[in-house]
Amino acid sequence: MKIVIISDLHGNLEALSALPEEYDELWVLGDLVNYGPDPAEVVEFVRARASVMVRGNHDHAIGFGEDPRCSPPFREMAEVMMQYTNSVLSDSQKQFLRDLPLTAERDLEGVRVSLCHAAPSDPLFVYCLPGSDRRIREIELVNSNILLVGHTHLPFIRQIGTKKIVNPGSLGQPKTGRPSACYAVWDEGRIELRSFEYPFEETIRKIDALPIAAGIKSSLADVLRHGGLPRAEGD
């Protein structure tokens, strides 16, 4: 059984379409939408292909009209792109986002796996860095061997006692200091972090064509090109 695990797609169809793996199942850890120019196409891709999905804070925000609670550098981008995303998603696609579960559990070749977007105690919003002590407390809240999470856009595998936390990183908006799309693969009992190059300039070209402020376009492009925070004007 080969499973590809992706998270934080953020409407980036180029990254999703370039995923270089064949797989038996596709698991998605949330945030299908917002920031990127193709939220509808990404929702339909996941809807058609994913076997297991959970809801992210941006899925929740679009589905229910709520604040995604982004960090300050991303807040304005999120607000502007939420308006765009709301304008292009159908009622059916928004219902699909509302219907995504907050958590999921699976048995995988004798291994119990739990899935959520952020953390078991707060599946949507809490932001835990990879080495945070809170990770130790969070892993104890699940009766599983492996906990799969997303949200931070930072890929890591962390062993805590007999349990393991895995974050595949972000497919559609990586924050690793590089533009490479990130994901994870479960194959024959082993889990591995991987990344690949994709045509991010095409995603940026689509962003440039959107009816949004030039400053927002520039910030979104910065994040995709540099794999991190948007650069301050003049940098």
| pLDDT in single tens digits along all 235 residues of the chain | 999 999 999 999 999 999 999 999 999 999 999 999 999 999 999 999 999 999 999 999 999 999 999 999 999 999 999 999 999 999 999 999 999 999 999 999 899 999 999 999 999 999 999 999 999 999 999 999 999 999 999 999 999 999 999 999 999 999 999 999 999 999 988 999 999 999 999 999 999 999 999 999 999 999 999 998 887 543 3
If phi > 0 it is left, if psi is from -120 to 50 it is alpha, else beta; for residue 187 that is: beta
| 233 located within any domain | no
Residues 113 and 127: their CA atoms lie apart, in Å, by: 21
| 46 located within any domain | yes
Supply the pLDDT for residue 99: 98
Residues 89 and 232: their CA atoms lie apart, in Å, by: 31
Whether 191 contacts 166, CB under 8 Å:
yes
Supply the pLDDT for residue 9: 98
Per the structure, the complete domain to which residue 175 belongs is given by 2-226
The pTM (predicted TM-score) of the whole model is 0.96
| 234 located within any domain | no
- DSSP string covering 45-68: HHHHH-SEE---HHHHHHHHT---
Supply the pLDDT for residue 232: 54
Residues 29 and 103: their CA atoms lie apart, in Å, by: 9
Supply the pLDDT for residue 105: 97
| 20 located within any domain | yes
Domain count for the chain, please give it.
Answer: 1
Residues 170 and 95: their CA atoms lie apart, in Å, by: 24
Whichever domain contains 18, its CATH number is 3.60.21.10
Beta strands in the chain (DSSP E): 2-6, 25-28, 52-53, 103-108, 111-116, 146-148, 156-160, 163-167, 181-187, 190-196
Supply the pLDDT for residue 229: 84
For the chain, the first-to-last Cα distance in angstroms comes to 47
| 231 located within any domain | no
